[in-house]
Amino acid sequence: MNRVDLTVIGGGPVGLFAAFYAGLRGMSVRILDSLPELGGQLTALYPEKYVFDMPGFPKVLAKDLARQMIEQGTQFGPEVVLDDTCTTLTQDDAGWTIGTRSGGEYPTRTLVIAAGVGAFQPTKIGIEGEEDWLGRGLSYGVRDKSALQGKRVAIVGGGDSAFDWVLNLMDTASEITLIHRRDQFRAHEDSIEKVVASGIPMKLWCEVKAIHGSERIERITIQNSQTKEFEELPMDAVVVNIGFKSSLGPMLQWGLDIQKNQIVTDALYRTNLPGVFAVGDVCTFDGKLKLIATGVGEAATAVCLAKQLVDPNAKLFPGHSSDMNL
């Protein structure tokens, strides 16, 4: 396998921008991702969800943002390896070699880790027989809004994802009920205000205790943790948004400085390993903000530093893209 100037681990929006910017700087690039398609969480978890905090877009569906970032990130022809997990990282005289679960070996001069939260699994409600309802009305996020057309939908959670789906499904579902185990929320203030103003029913201090039905969900049982009372609600679908359990997996054995499942970097996104950078949600440093908007800036800086490692005569700042002949 040929050695590339830069390998990007992670095909989400931040990794895609790193690949784009490296191509812009004339670097040979390889993208590695364990998912079967590019786009990261935008395509894997919430393709129908609106993203509001990406510059240039008042609002944009995650799948549409992913499509455009994929087009941008692959325009310089990077090698793309999907559906294969990076397992080993070995240093050699010319840089690093990444080994994968399928037995692949991918030499690289520098490396940008943009693996998001790592491998992720949705946090479950924790009821008996929960997995039996997957595909029968139970989901952890929404892949296809049209599947909920005219349905009575319970949305479980109190964070941004839960509130975003309440707002996003108002023109689709016939009824929406928000179920949350507390009366405090972790969503943006604007989203909370809009949901409260909408007047949708909220079942606070409540948890789902059982799902009932034959072929598909027909009703659910919830319990109020304060009164201990049970209530049965007619329901066609349950969308669970109570978080994800994530892990860096094999990367935990690479010798990286890791704290709380995040890779520690300095202010220039350099890890403790030479020529290895980490950007986006996977990294942590003082003042870190977990946004796509900030992640793409981190990616551009990391790529420019990697460029100087590959070519010491290269300038750190290449100039504005509007001045380049592309």
Domain count, the chain: 2
Q: Where residue 185 falls among pLDDT bands split at 50, 70, 90?
A: very high
- 230 and 272 in a single domain? The answer is no
- What value does the mean pLDDT take over residues 292-308? 97
For 222, the domain range is: 124-240
- 70 and 140 in a single domain? The answer is no
- 190 and 285 in a single domain? The answer is no
Q: Which of 212, 243, 73 is nearest to 133 (CA)?
A: 212
Segment 6-18, tens digit of pLDDT: 999 999 999 999 9
Distances (CA, A) of 157 to 15, 141, 175, 208: 29, 11, 17, 11
- 235 and 132 in a single domain? The answer is yes
- 105 and 164 in a single domain? The answer is no
Q: Where residue 120 falls among pLDDT bands split at 50, 70, 90?
A: low
Q: What is the pLDDT of residue 324?
A: 67
Burial class of 25 by CB neighbour count within 10 A (0 to 12, 13 to 18, 19+):
buried
- 249 and 115 in a single domain? The answer is yes
Q: Which of 240, 275, 294 is the last residue of a domain?
A: 240
Segment 8-46, tens digit of pLDDT: 999 999 999 999 999 999 999 999 998 889 998 888 777
In angstroms, the CA 35 to CA 77 distance is 19
- 221 and 267 in a single domain? The answer is no
In angstroms, the CA 145 to CA 168 distance is 9
Task: Report the predicted TM-score, pTM, of the whole model to 2 decimal places.
Answer: 0.74
- 205 and 168 in a single domain? The answer is yes
CATH of the domain at 211: 3.50.50.60
Q: Which of 240, 273, 305 is the last residue of a domain?
A: 240
- 193 and 217 in a single domain? The answer is yes
